[in-house]
Amino acid sequence: MPLTLEDIAEKSGVSRSTVSRVINGDEKVKSETRERVMKVIQEYNFQPNLAARGLAARRTNIIGLVTPAGVSELFTDPYFPQLIRGVTAACNAQQYSVMLWLADLEFERRTINQILHNGLLDGVVVSSMVMDDPIVQSLYQSKMPFVLVGRHPKLDVNYIDVDNTQGGMDATLHLLKQNHHRVATITGPLNMVGGFDRYQGYQKALQSRQIPLEEALVVEGSFTEESGYQGMKKLLEQHPDAVFAASDMMAMGAIRAIREAGLRIPEDVAVVGFDDLPAASQVMPPLTSIRQPVVRMGSLAADMLIDLIHHPREQTQHLLLATELIVRSTCGARSKIPA
């Protein structure tokens, strides 16, 4: 049987109340007493029972991490692993535990409620992909603290996101600067904020150069390799000299299509991706891409949430992280710079 507060209290000659205060860092405990108790705690390697604490104090030091499961992206894309890693790292550092919820298809209201009202979670980090996710709705109506990874188009919620618009703009501008004139784009799903925003960036880049938007140079993909391939095949009919693919997976698909058509990269068609996957640098030719700080986003989301748990605010908080253009070989910039 594990020891209890009571045991520690007895062994150090104080009441269980005092032990509890020591453990919770109550300033008012005399430092002499604190040290005595601490010593006993260390000696016996005492661990307070979190279920009991949760019951008594209504805080468990557990946060939930809700993430879509079904998608095959989870398998091929390191996005979620990285996010998870960031969240858990931040939580570990702050003595929080993380409970994982892979939201499956049949994740209906009842299940959501089950998660939110089982008294186990102090707060939730949600990485939702679609714009009108019912989980976000439920959270919004509850009083559970939560932060969204990825901004929300309508609701005034706490979120942290990557500056997808700026990233998309940077990618497109970079291509324009290499003297490409017919810059096409394969967008992500436009019902996902990320897909939508990157496309916005593409449009803003054209605007800033006063280039009219040509519908035929825009194709909607689904972030997958295959959709990049299909999208590029369609785009090639329009003879673009460059393409901004809103994900690296789609960029790879696009590259496959371009090659199949017997064209060279970047001479005939230049390509810029988005994500900067580990694979981006290993693929031939190495892919120019927009890097996004996913691990850091996860950590910051957890930090924001934990802060929110301790200091509830009226005002919602928003954080937008910068992306970074990583120039490699597919955009045509390298070939102009004498190595």
Partner DNA sequence: CTGAAAGCGCTTACAG
Q: Cβ contacts of residue 230 below 8 Å, gap of 6+?
A: 221, 253, 257
Among 25, 45, 56, 315, interactor with DNA by CB under 7 A: 56
Q: Does 264 bind its own copies (CB under 8 A)?
A: no
For DNA, which is the closer residue by CB, 18 or 330? 18
Stretch that binds its own copies, among 54-62, 150-158, 179-187, 263-271 (CB under 8 A): 54-62
**Residue 18 binding result from DNA, its own copies, none, given CB thresholds of 5 to 8 Å by partner type:** DNA
64 pairs with which residues across the strands?
A: 99, 124
Q: Is 25 in the site for its own copies (CB under 8 A)?
A: no
Closer to its own copies at the Cβ: 101 or 199? 101
Does the protein bind its own copies through residue 28 (CB under 8 A)? no
2 binds its own copies (CB under 8 A): yes
Q: By CB under 7 A, which span of 10-18, 73-81, 261-269, 300-308 interacts with DNA?
A: 10-18
Q: Taking CB under 8 A as the rule, does residue 141 contact its own copies?
A: no
* DSSP assignment of 247-289: SHHHHHHHHHHHHHTT--TTTTSEEE-SB--HHHHHSSSPPBE
Q: Is 24 near its own copies (CB under 8 A)?
A: no
Q: Which of 208, 149, 206 is nearest to 181 (CA)?
A: 206
Tokens of 204: 């803003």
Residue 72 or 210: the one with the smaller Cβ distance to its own copies is 72
One of 15, 17, 35, 119 touching its own copies (CB under 8 A): 119
| Residue 130, beta-bridge partner list | 192
Alpha-carbon gap, residue 185 to 254, rounded angstroms: 10
Closest CA to 334 of 288, 290, 289, 292: 288
Using the rule CB under 8 A, which residue among 29, 38, 89, 263 binds its own copies?
Answer: 89
Q: Does 97 bind DNA (CB under 7 A)?
A: no
- At its nearest, how many Å lie between its own copies and the CB of residue 264? 16
What counts of helices (H) and strands (E) characterise the chain? 14, 12
Contact at 8 Å (CB) between 250 and 186?
yes
Question: Residue 58 or 311: which CB sits closer to its own copies?
Answer: 58
Tokens coding 31: 């430092």
| DSSP assignment of 231-257 | HHHHHHTT--SEEEESSHHHHHHHHHH
Binding residues vs DNA (CB under 7 A):
1-6, 13-18, 20-21, 23-24, 28-30, 32-33, 48-49, 52-53, 55-57, 59, 119
